[in-house]
Structure 1
């Protein structure tokens, strides 16, 4: 079935492309210098429709000056060829049934002089520009459907992949931040920008390897690099108001509401968004979600914190049904060259209902058994988050960046679990029971950073001070009612408890980092730094047993209650030397990290305090190397070390019995973990052919990794887990991403990704070391193809093969494969009609019997534009037409193999209406923000003196 789908999809695209190309025209030629006869590479070639000067296609000449434009429909055109320092060439072109192939031969270009027949090209921008740390795309060169959002545009860009939930991967790396005109948009959530801003207002999309504010100032890489996208708004779209609003209702009381309203000015951005639905469509990244119990759930068996040395999921289908409401406001204001203010507030309320059926094989060196669990849970998280960024340039030498943040989450959760454990041989029942959990709580965090930067008159001499503060607190109350029967050699023992737990924690950290840079030669700089961070945390856990006589929880359980205090001082000092040459730069440095930790625990059971003191020293070398082979080829190497503090939940030595069969303990003896990371990146992009290749190699190793050590009781089926430090782990992985153009039209790409990884990890089972060796091989591919303005197709697939081997629990060894296929087709019909359909097929092999289930999700819709200028859209859509949507997953660890089946959203149909608002100022607005030809392709400015049909303002 899978092979047939792939073959049919490939053949379909090939036939469509072949039929289209066979009836379309082609233009080719060669550009040379009129005097020297030398070829002119990387010249810009623009084909415009003669009737309205809208862009039909673009090209760039190759190293020999040759260019070629294919896929041209019959009609009259004007061809412009431009090269910096030369007169532009103007050629009228006609494509007809008798003239499909136009060979212009050699076109000699003259130096200087830019005015030709009253037309002057003032500014030009090719589809793709390669810069040092940035790959820049001209948005108008990549066709999208009318009223598309930024997410749709990103799918057209070479090397960029957007998954079904809106997650973005660029050049093999996850995009963690999206900026608008270089400014934050609703904090750091990429989806709020890509799912709300329309594509037709975008001038450029920039893929950036963004450094920290500190590194951007000192120009000495600190290894804190993240993949970011900067969206540059068109100049003529910075004065106006735009947005959209959608309301829909469907079968089974399904509903969907959302709106966004944006008002942009030259120096101001104001955006308001909101919405709600019960069809699992978040539209944002869930953050600051609270869980109850250290297991990460309401006591259910699916959240157990065992070390997952090898893990895989057979599907990417989200479990459960989610309903959500959200609203937010984002404000950006440039008051002057000295003062820039960005701020946002966002609120979301998510409710998730999950039903799960789990089969888990517990594996130990000498025995194994099976545990069966049915879970029903309901969780609600209401989160408020507030972000501000204030940049103030005191003068040309001094500046300040202030970034305060605030978050508040209120949550409640309840779950009911029914479970039983049976032996693997005789199938005798080991235990059976049920647990009910109910929890309420809130958590808040407030903090911020102040970065003061000063430049001196001597170039390269700087000093900066970064002050940070963060305070977070959590108050939780949960009730656990558990009844379990244990069977040991036909001896029955009942265990039950009804308890209320209160967990109150408060943590604070204050930090200061001072950095000084000094030039020591023309191309070499020295950086010295010192930083100190003071961590303080306090946790109080009280457990009260239920008093049936007084009908309340009034008897403190001293064995499950304690007060815990942690105080840690972390100091870091070091230096780095940076050298900058014409084609390469590098930095080498060394940091010393001193960590002093004091843990104080008061036990109500023993009525006494205990104190643990630790002193650790880590050497943290760091190094970066960047080599630019050419404008479009770059190599980057980075090595860094980082220390991670254990959480207060991991340190607090009191049992958490929210899961009757999985008891978690804290460990006050934990040390901070230290991890080394080595990354190698090689990127190359050919801006003439639009072909790119992005390769990355990662390796990691370190010491004192924090894992969960498990002790399993075969007679009761209970697991006791406690975090400990271990050494001896490492991992290495390599990825290769290719972007292959399917035609000379930008946006029609084949993106492929190949990854290979190997990891060696360690765990402790009944105090015995168990090493794992995991190999993962994965291949994915996706294609985007757009035929004129009526057919838009995207399709893709992936396959991954997992091999897991253990040195101790060999029965956990596993081989399994995951497969996925997807396709999305949209057709624009006459009279404003559109039809669309998408299908996602996911399956796996290697799971336990009954769990190798395929999931097929087929959706379809039909829509029609209404009102003048297509301001309204009526859509009828159907979800899960085949009723084959399913969620099946597998987790493989050193001591269990777990297969889980969950409930998912069922078939529904919905009718919706969308209203589009596009009102822009300026001489060329006409309130037509998505006019065909004006917002697509490369554009030119009008010159003096008339001539031709005129060129639209907006620039390259």
Structure 2
């Protein structure tokens, strides 16, 4: 009943959101006044407003399907004309709702400020699907084989469920374990951090966070399982993992132990993990966890590397064998307090790691260099570290003002000992006759330590309220300082083969200290309302870097000063349209290895010398996004543009110099250069044809870049154009689905940063040499996949084609490769609890430098399920029955092509017993293994 009061004096306004701080539209809001009731609904942004209210006291009730009703009593203070309520949070209802059949076509994508929301009801969810299977259908999102998730090319770094931290918050750990059937929505959120959510001040570049919103009643459960297995490859293992979840109360325990022979040798791992998180009191939550890992892994790898260079071509055939092992202990804890007036977030992490490795390698180099290298090395290291910090924010007496402070400290050490034995065989280039056989034994002892401390504060002064009563504007003053101190001691000893004595080599040893102080002082203006958010300002960044050589008693100073603007803008044009833009500048110091002025001669043919005169580099990054969706048709368009430029970027200066036998060896130094930049755009168009049945997908990217190359002390720039297009479609029926895709790309490969710094296998001879000669890669591919699901029969099949062509001046033999793969798999159900599983694939490889076969992989298994929930399963499996497993990969970077293959044992027969727990809201859900 609506009552209008003749002597109205007061106004009430506020907003309604869920536990993820996202607005809830169309909620019923009631103000109860004695015998009268005023009713309204929240708008599309979750806002509501009442005016002309006379009584001093009133009761507020807010209700929405799937949420608990919010009830609260309020009163107006003296002289208070307008009561502005903080964001009111509705909690999900724990009671299961009766199934509601919705005939309307659901909108697959919704765009809001800082959020892209996908409606699970608009996509196909089959029994047994996990969350990763659901995400793979979303436009603009990608999921890799390790469950890493990217959105419009950007990595997602954090997981939450219903707006709360979920166990370790590791996306890769959980999206393969959670059933897709419990999901209502999945949100991709631009996360500025918990402190920003508390103060409302969102400055800087956000990180991408994945938030899973569960269906009503599905916000608690347990998942995990127990397993045991044995196999003909000396496999034996068992494990148990259980996760108990009830909102903020989260407990997990896992223990796994496995050993097997991977084809290169023994492979052993032991893992233990315990964690508990819970709410303490009304406004605090805390958590603690411990992890232990022990592993020992043998490896065997072979590679063919071809580099195109003005001096000629380098071809390196290498084989590597060895094993890695070690232990890691990790202890972490956290505490969070938030009573809407004070926010506090603290953490303490400690890790202790020790590792050892043995490596044996042989390399045959041809082309410009003709020589063989045989190398063996052993190393051990110990690395303890501690990291702690606290963030604090408080809303002051004037609630429009706030103060924030932060402090963190970390310390780490690393002690390592290496023994390296190198045998080099030099050949005459014209005759191929062996000229010299050189043997060198050396030992390197390294002692490193580092301490880091960070302090900072931000003071926000609230300004006069804008016309938008739910908006906020402020002036923000901030300061952050990060100080770092590191110490390095390297002692090199050489064994004399003639006298059998060990000598200390002063020229290959060092004692070095480095100190840096990075500061940022900022002043900016911030505006935030229901539809628009922006801030702009200025940062001043003075940076001090000093390096002291304790042997030479010499200190060098490299100081820089940078001014950069700050800009962050986001506007929701409508419920289906949003635009945003962000600029960020950042400083990066050189690493200790880049500034040490000694010769790192671990590889005699690839000597690295640091540069103590290096200055920190400074990066400018600008990105913009536009998102659009059509509410009625579900069509969506996502576009992003990213640009970056680097001042004083640290690049490698590679020179080739003759050695004593007129062969060549590589010297790598570091220099600062200007002129590096890149601009690229990504776009994704999604057109649904009918509800959950078919859609057309079109996506692509265009990018330009300019990369500096220094070779033989000559600087050049490699300009490049990267271009890719992808067109796909899916057709889905109740029992059958078909997916098809074609793609084409052109890549300039002008990013000539040394690929090996990211590689597991470091080169012994000449490394990848950045030079003004690049491979241009053209790729064409296509795929067709289908799936049939009947009551007692599941079938999957597909074909994938990929052709890769590399253009490079002077390239010899490994330019083009073609891959064709045909695969099929299936599952037959017999008498409800017996299953026959089968899998087969035929792969055809053309153009690789490494010898290869075209393997036909055939696998199968028998399985029996037990219990009413079918959660206990016993299976016998035969993998690669014909023993034709063969894995090949190609990597192209700059002027280098690498073909590689790891040795592995693929023909294995196993016996497995598994119990799987997946229960949410009192209901069991099946989650099939990928």
After TM superposition, the structure 1 = structure 2 runs for residues 527-676 of structure 1, keeping only pairs within 5 Å, are 527-546=476-495, 554-580=502-528, 583-603=531-551, 608-676=552-620
Which residue of 2 is the match for residue 204 of structure 1?
185
| CA deviation vs aligned residue, 1:503-558 (integer Å, no higher than 9, x gap) | 1111111111110111233243111111222110011111122366997x853221
Which residue of the partner structure matches residue 81 of structure 1? none
* Candidates 468, 471, 474, aligned match of 2:414: 474
Structure 2 CA distance for aligned equivalents of residues 188 and 637 of structure 1: 27
Q: Can you give the 5+ residue segments of structure 1 that lack an aligned partner in the other structure?
A: 1-41, 45-83, 87-117, 282-318, 932-956
Distance 1:231 1:635 in 2: 23
Partner of 2:162: 181
The answer to whether structure 1 residue 787 and structure 2 residue 733 are counterparts is: yes
- Contact kept? 1:363, 1:811, Cα under 8 Å: no
Question: Which one of the candidate residues 685, 692, 705 is aligned to 2:636?
Answer: 692
- CA distance in 2 between counterparts of 1:440 and 1:268 reads 40
Contact kept, 8 Å, 2:707 with 2:751, in 1: the verdict is no
Preserved CA contact (<8 Å) 2:186 2:213 = yes
2:425 aligns with: 485
Q: 1:679 to 1:278 in 2, by over 3 A?
A: farther
| Equivalence map 1:81-160=2 (5 Å) | 129-139=110-120, 142-160=123-141
1:442, distance to aligned residue in structure 2 (A):
2.6
**Comparing 851-860 with 885-894, which one deviates more in the overlay?**
851-860
Structure 1 residue 161, shift from structure 2 partner: 2.3
Paired residue for 2:705? Answer: 759
The one of 688, 691, 708 equivalent to 1:744 is 691
* Partner of residue 333 from structure 2, selected from 371, 388, 395: 388
The structural deviation recorded for 1:447 is 0.9
Sort the Cα spacing of 1:172 and 1:740 in 2 relative to 1 into closer, same or farther, 3 A: farther
Do 1:857 and 1:885's aligned partners in 2 also have CA atoms closer than 8 Å? no
Cα offset, 1:901, TM superposition: 4.4
Instruction: Give the Å deviation of 1:755.
Output: 1.0
Task: Return the offset for 1:376.
Answer: 2.7
**Distance verdict in 2 for CA 1:745–1:549, change over 3 Å:** same
CA contact (8 A) 2:310 2:773 kept: no
Residue range with higher mean Cα deviation, 642-651 or 256-265? 256-265
Q: Which moved more, 1:851-860 or 1:707-716?
A: 851-860
Q: Which position in structure 2 is the counterpart of 1:802? A: 747
Q: Distance in 1 between matches of 2:99 and 2:422?
A: 81
Distance 2:638 2:685 in 1: 6
* Cα distance, 1:219 vs structure 2: 2.9
Matched with 2:449 is: 506
Question: Hey, what does 2:665 align to over in structure 1?
Answer: 718
Query: Following the alignment from structure 1 to structure 2, what is the Cα–Cα distance between the partners of residues 347 and 375?
Result: 29
Residues 233, 261 of structure 2: 8 Å contact kept = no
1:276–1:325 Cα contact (<8 Å) kept: yes
Shift of 1:589: 1.2
Taking structure 1 as reference, are residues 919 and 765 closer, same or farther at Cα in structure 2, changes over 3 Å only? closer
- How far does the alpha carbon of each residue in 1:710-755 deviate from its partner, in whole angstroms, 9 at most, with x for none? 1112532311112221111111111112233242128x55444301
Kindly indicate whether the alpha-carbon contact (under 8 Å) linking 1:158 and 1:749 is maintained by their aligned counterparts in 2: no
Q: Post-superposition shift, 1:224?
A: 2.9
Please give the TM-score of this superposition, normalised by the length of structure 1.
0.72
Cα displacement (A) at 1:398? 1.6
Pick the aligned partner of 1:462 from 402, 407, 423: 402
8 Å Cα contact 1:207-1:228 kept in structure 2: yes
CA distance in 1, matches of 2:134, 2:514: 49
Decide whether the 8 Å contact of 1:435 with 1:659 is kept in 2.
Answer: no
Distance 1:853 1:351, change over 3 A: farther
* 3-state SS of paired residue (1:870): coil
Aligned in 2, Cα 1:140/1:684: closer, same or farther, shift over 3 Å?
closer
Q: Following the alignment from structure 2 to structure 1, what is the Cα–Cα distance between the partners of residues 879 and 674?
A: 49
Whole-angstrom distance in 2 between the partners of 1:337 and 1:85: 24
- Once the 2 structures are TM-superposed, how far is the Cα of residue 929 of structure 1 from its aligned partner? 4.4
Q: Does 1:768 align with 2:714?
A: yes
Structure possessing the higher relative contact order (Cα contacts under 8 Å, 6 or more residues apart)? 1
C-alpha deviation, 1:596, in angstroms: 1.3
- SS state at 1:578 partner: strand
Q: What residue in structure 2 maps to residue 376 of structure 1? A: 321
How far apart are 1:251 and its partner, in Å?
A: 5.1
Does structure 1 residue 906 correspond to structure 2 residue 906? yes
| Residue in 2 that maps onto 1:333 | 278
User: 776-785 vs 503-512, which deviates more?
Assistant: 776-785
Answering whether residue 827 of structure 2 is matched by residue 862 of structure 1, we say: yes
CA apart distance, 1:493: 4.3
Q: Which of the residues 842, 845, 848 maps onto 2:805?
A: 845
Tell me the distance in 1 between the aligned counterparts of 2:743 and 2:295. Answer: 30
C-alpha deviation, 1:863, in angstroms = 6.3
8 Å CA contact 2:716, 2:772 repeated in 1: no
CA distance in 1, matches of 2:878, 2:899: 30
Deviation per residue, 1:825-878 (Å, 9 max, x gap): 5544435x6455576655522285357253648473536542323323456666
Displacement of 1:206 in angstroms is: 1.9
Pairing 1:342–2:291 present: no
**Contact map agreement 1:514 1:529 (CA 8 A) in 2:** yes
Task: Provide the rounded CA distance (Å) in 1 between the counterparts of 2:407 and 2:789.
Answer: 55
Deviation at 1:641, TM superposition (A): 0.5
Aligned to 1:398: 342
**Following superposition of structure 1 onto structure 2, how do residues 928-943 of structure 1 map, counting pairs within 5 Å?**
928-929=924-925
In 2: Cα distance, 1:150 partner to 1:745 partner:
17
Contact 2:292/2:330 (<8 A) preserved: yes
1:373-407 C-alpha deviation (Å, 9 max, x unpaired): 333343335444444331113x4422211122233
Partner secondary structure for residue 198 of structure 2: helix
CA distance in 2, matches of 1:905, 1:749: 41
State how 1:388-467 maps to structure 2 within 5 Å: 388-393=333-338, 395-423=339-367, 430-467=370-407
Structure 2: segments with no counterpart, 5+ residues? 1-24, 28-62, 66-96, 467-472, 753-768, 834-864
CA contact (8 A) 1:365 1:809 kept: no
Q: How many angstroms apart in 2 are the aligned matches of 1:256 and 1:793?
A: 38
Which residue pairs with 1:887 in the alignment? Answer: 888
The corresponding residue for 1:730 is 677
Provide Cα deviations, 1:580-600, integer angstroms capped at 9, x if missing partner. Answer: 466433211111111112111
Deviation string, structure 1 residues 98-136 (Cα, Å, up to 9, x no partner): xxxxxxxxxxxxxxxxxxxx9998999966554322233
The total of aligned residue pairs comes to 766
Distance in 2 (CA, whole Å) between partners of 1:910 and 1:244 is 19
Residue 872 of structure 1 is matched in structure 2 by 872
More displaced 10-residue stretch of structure 1: 885-894 or 820-829: 820-829
Instruction: Determine the C-alpha separation between the residues in 1 that align with 2:632 and 2:260.
Output: 43
CA contact (8 A) 1:384 1:409 kept: yes
Q: Give the distance between the partners of 2:447 and 2:258, measured in 1 at CA.
A: 33
Shift of 1:671: 1.1
- TM-score (normalizing by structure 2): 0.74
Alpha-carbon spacing, 1:800–1:202, altered in 2? closer, same or farther (3 Å): same
Q: CA deviation at 1:207?
A: 1.6
More displaced 10-residue stretch of structure 1: 814-823 or 643-652: 814-823
What CA RMSD, in Å, does the superposition of the two structures yield over aligned residues?
3.9
